[in-house]
Amino acid sequence: MLPKVLVFAGSIRTGSHNARLAALASKELLLAGADVTRISLGDYPLPIYDGDQENTAGAPLNAIKLKQLMAAHQGVFIASPEYNASITPLLKNTIDWISRVRERGEVPLAAFRNRVFAIGGASDGAYGAMRSLMALRQVLELGCGALVIPDQIAVMRASEAFDEVDNLKEERASALLKRIAQRLTDMAREIA
């Protein structure tokens, strides 16, 4: 059975470097033997998380859909942009809402358990979204109890990093993404 891997970027901006990274990660995951589902968070708009709203109206339908999507996959790859040395409000809000969805009989944070995560980021800066990856790892591991593989990719000078067919130009970065895709696929297969 092919392991199922969900892929998305923490950006919905037109021309997003992280959407390009998510697309390339999807390709590498397919080549590694995964059954890939790539989504855009733009297709799942959510209000800013508000505990009062959750108490009165429950979780929004898109939060429930995203939680169910995550739960249906053994692996997740997140491409995280960097805003002010951290993750984007879009990505944090998405994770916050998913973390709050509990369906009948589920333990808290069920969507983050029994699956494996991999993270990457692309930025025009010299750090290549590394600071957002540190923040995302903290949110996923410490906040949500997720298993995040140690390998991660930080693509520097992202506007120059991709070639005309959206592959990474630098061989080291390309090889790293392939290794991450293979490791994520292999670990997701163990869960499946």
Q: What is the mean pLDDT of the chain?
A: 96
Residue 134 token pair:
């540190």
Specify the pLDDT at position 192. Answer: 73
For the purposes of burial, counting CB atoms within 10 Å of the CB of 19, is it exposed (0-12), middle (13-18) or buried (19 or more)?
buried
Contacts 24+ apart (CB under 8 A), 48-54: 48/93, 49/93, 49/96, 49/97, 49/100, 54/100
Q: pLDDT digit string (tens) for 98-146?
A: 999 998 889 999 999 999 999 999 999 888 899 999 999 999 999 999 9
pTM over the 0.85 mark? yes
Domain annotation for the chain: domains and CATH numbers: 4-191 (3.40.50.360)
Contacts of 37 (CB under 8 A, 6+ apart): 4, 5, 6, 7, 69, 73
For 64, other C-beta atoms within 10 Å of its C-beta total 15
Q: pLDDT digit string (tens) for 56-85?
A: 999 999 999 999 999 999 999 999 999 999
